[in-house]
Structure formats: C-alpha cells, structure tokens
C-alpha cells in the first residue's frame, strides 16, 4: 500500500471492515472503488426507525477491554461523542417477557446463580440447574466446543436462552451453537476445563477486568462510526458504490476489458485486481447504471 506506486483496488462489501479498508487504501494514494450489494453502507452498523425513534440495528456499544475502537473514534473525530452507559441494568425484551439482566454476570453467565436478580429471571429451579455447572466434570470439553453446547449441558436451557443468548448473540451476531468458546475469549475452553466449569472461568475473567462498565457507546448510535468512516474514505478519494452485487471473478480477455452497464442481468467486468487473487472482478448490476455515492 505504498503511495509511491499507486494501484487500482476494488473493495467488496461496504460493512465497517470494507469501509476501513477503503479508507486506508485511499489514504495511501491508491485508486479505490468499494462495491456494496445493499442500498446502504455500514453492514451491521446501521440505524433503524422504531416507533419514531432512531436506534442501532446492530451493535449499540463497543467493548473497552481493548483500545482499537476508542482510537478509531478519535481518528474519525468522534472522541467527544463517546459516552458511558448509565448504572441502570440492561433489559431483555422478548415477546412473552421483559426482565433486567443480573448485575453479577460475565457475558450473560451468572456468577452467583442464587442471587435474587438471577432467581427473578430463572426461578429457583433454573438457578439450581445452573449450579450443576460447579459439579459436572469438564474433561470432555474440547478446544472447538461451542458456547451453545457447553452452556446447555452445564447451565441448562433456561439460563442459556434467557441470559447467555441475549448477550452473546447480540455482541457476536451469531447463534450460540455456531460460536466457539475461544471466539469470545482466547483460551476460554482450556480455562473452563482447568477451573471446573463456566461459572468459575467467568468469575476469573470478570475479576481480571477493569472496574465499571465494560462497554461504551456513541451519541447518535454506533452506526455513526460507519458513516464517519465512509465520509472520510470519500474525502480521501475513494469511490463508494451501493446497489452493486459482485457475483464472481472473470479472467482478463486478450483485447482488454472496459466497464459496461448494459442490462440489469449482464455481468459487468473491470480489470482491477482482487486483493486475494489478483484477477479482475465482475459483478451484476441490479440497475442499468451504477448507484451514486451516499450523501453522508
């Protein structure tokens, strides 16, 4: 990405990763075009209107255990927009019930299963079932074990569905059965085996954390982070296109290839390299012309 030898790049996908890649490439002096199939940039970081209120459709906060997001916010001029959550507990809203998450938890894992706020959610039986985690053997938990299979077996279905799923699925945007233990914290599977269960491992991880809230947010929502990244990428010279679906790669032809916008179902080819293969890219246009850049 040396600016002394600029190249043409195509970034596929306009989520936060694609936007940051386009921003970085453009800053290095390259000719960058970003292609996003959806009509809006941001991926999972976007706004949604609910009952007249503008909310985050995806992540509503970012973890403070590392400084990567904090540093990015500062680079994008959002330092003054960073806020900490109130002391009030987070609530889970479901079709049949609404309840506050227990105060003593780590990513939804109840550290004190018989605490009053845990019993309020799980009931006596659910709290007793969760306590089995402290007695069950752990030697069968592999490094590739998922949160879903381990939590269901050790804490029970009620604790898994009411406490862990709302938190972890929201943070990692994946079902618990597809979420490896080590994906939420490196070495967690080994820690569960060594300490004798999820609860003890969670207690250890919680004790190592810094006091206070483990997350922060942004005034206007975390979706503003994607909008700021898109705006800066454009300021640095990147072209951001929405409504363009990439369908595959096409090898170059002998007489060269130029951009075509002929029909909605006709592949459009561009002899720009893919970062992974170095081969020219092709995509299908849902409209006869490429969409314009967003107005952010």
What pLDDT does 223 receive?
A: 94
CB 81 within 8 A of CB 174: no
Q: Higher-confidence residue: 252 or 226?
A: 226
Token look-up 């799980």 returns 122
**CA quadruple 261, 266, 270, 274: dihedral sign:** positive
Judge if 137 and 25 occupy the same domain.
no
* In a domain? residue 289: no
Which of 172, 191, 212 is at the close of a domain? 212
Judge if 28 and 104 occupy the same domain.
no
* In a domain? residue 291: no
What pLDDT does 290 receive?
A: 34
Judge if 98 and 193 occupy the same domain.
yes
DSSP 227-277: HHHHHHHHHTT-EEEES-EEEEE-PPPTT--------TTSEEEEEEE-TTT
Q: How far is 120 from 258, CA to CA, in rounded Å?
A: 64
Judge if 157 and 104 occupy the same domain.
yes
Judge if 132 and 28 occupy the same domain.
no
Average pLDDT over residues 46-68: 85
* In a domain? residue 72: yes
Q: How far is 222 from 142, CA to CA, in rounded Å?
A: 35
Q: How far is 214 from 67, CA to CA, in rounded Å?
A: 12
pLDDT tens-digit profile of 239-275? 999 999 988 877 666 555 444 433 344 444 444 444 4
Which of 212, 229, 263 is at the close of a domain? 212
What the block records as the tokens of 202 is: 């969670």
What pLDDT does 262 receive?
A: 36
Domain count, the chain: 2
Q: What is the mean pLDDT of the chain?
A: 83
* Region of poorest pLDDT, from 97-106, 127-136, 232-241: 97-106
Residue numbers of the domain that contains 95: 89-212
Which of 212, 230, 264 is at the close of a domain? 212
Judge if 228 and 183 occupy the same domain.
no
* In a domain? residue 293: no
pTM (two decimals): 0.65
What the block records as the tokens of 211 is: 């006091």
* In a domain? residue 77: yes
Judge if 244 and 190 occupy the same domain.
no
What pLDDT does 95 receive?
A: 82
Judge if 77 and 222 occupy the same domain.
yes
Question: CB within 8 A of 244, min separation 6: which ones?
Answer: 35, 36, 37, 283, 285, 286, 290, 291
Burial (Cβ within 10 Å: 0-12, 13-18, ≥19) of residue 257: middle
pLDDT tens-digit profile of 144-170? 999 999 999 999 999 999 999 998 887
Judge if 186 and 117 occupy the same domain.
yes
Going by pLDDT thresholds of 50, 70 and 90, the confidence category of residue 215 is confident
CB 272 within 8 A of CB 280: yes
CATH code of the domain in which 24 resides: 3.50.50.60
CATH code of the domain in which 208 resides: 1.10.3110.10
pLDDT tens-digit profile of 92-128? 888 888 999 998 889 999 999 999 999 999 999 999 9
Judge if 55 and 164 occupy the same domain.
no
* In a domain? residue 295: no
* In a domain? residue 3: no
What's the Cα-to-Cα distance from 103 to each of 87, 109, 126, 202, 212, rounded to whole Å? 10, 11, 17, 14, 12
Judge if 203 and 109 occupy the same domain.
yes
Judge if 39 and 59 occupy the same domain.
yes
């Amino acid at each position: 990405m040396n600016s002394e030898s600029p190249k043409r790049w195509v970034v596929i996908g306009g989520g936060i990763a694609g936007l940051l890649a386009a921003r970085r490439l453009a800053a290095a002096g390259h000719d960058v075009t970003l292609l996003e199939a959806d009509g809006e940039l941001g991926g999972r970081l976007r706004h949604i209107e609910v009952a007249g209120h503008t909310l985050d459709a995806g992540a509503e906060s970012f973890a403070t255990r590392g400084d990567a997001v904090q540093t990015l916010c500062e680079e994008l001029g959002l330092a003054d927009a960073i806020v900490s959550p109130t002391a009030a507990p987070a609530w889970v809203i479901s079709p049949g019930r609404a309840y506050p998450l227990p105060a003593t938890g780590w990513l939804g894992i109840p550290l004190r299963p018989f605490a009053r706020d845990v019993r309020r959610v799980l009931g006596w039986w659910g709290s007793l079932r969760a306590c089995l985690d402290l007695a069950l053997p752990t030697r069968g938990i592999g490094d590739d074990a998922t949160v879903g299979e381990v939590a269901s077996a050790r804490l029970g279905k009620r604790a898994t569905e009411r406490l862990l799923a709302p938190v972890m699925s929201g943070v990692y945007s994946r079902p618990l059965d597809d979420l490896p233990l080590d994906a939420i914290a490196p070495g967690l599977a080994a820690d569960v085996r060594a300490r004798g269960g999820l609860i003890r491992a969670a207690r250890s991880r919680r004790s190592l954390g810094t006091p206070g809230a483990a997350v922060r947010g942004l005034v206007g929502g975390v979706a503003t982070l994607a909008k700021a990244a898109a705006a800066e990428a454009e300021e640095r010279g990147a072209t951001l296109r929405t409504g363009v679906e990439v369908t595959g790669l096409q090898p170059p032809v002998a007489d060269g290839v130029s951009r075509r916008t002929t029909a909605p179902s006709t592949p459009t080819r561009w002899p720009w390299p893919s970062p992974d293969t170095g081969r020219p890219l092709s995509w299908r246009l849902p409209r006869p012309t490429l969409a314009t850049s967003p107005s952010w």
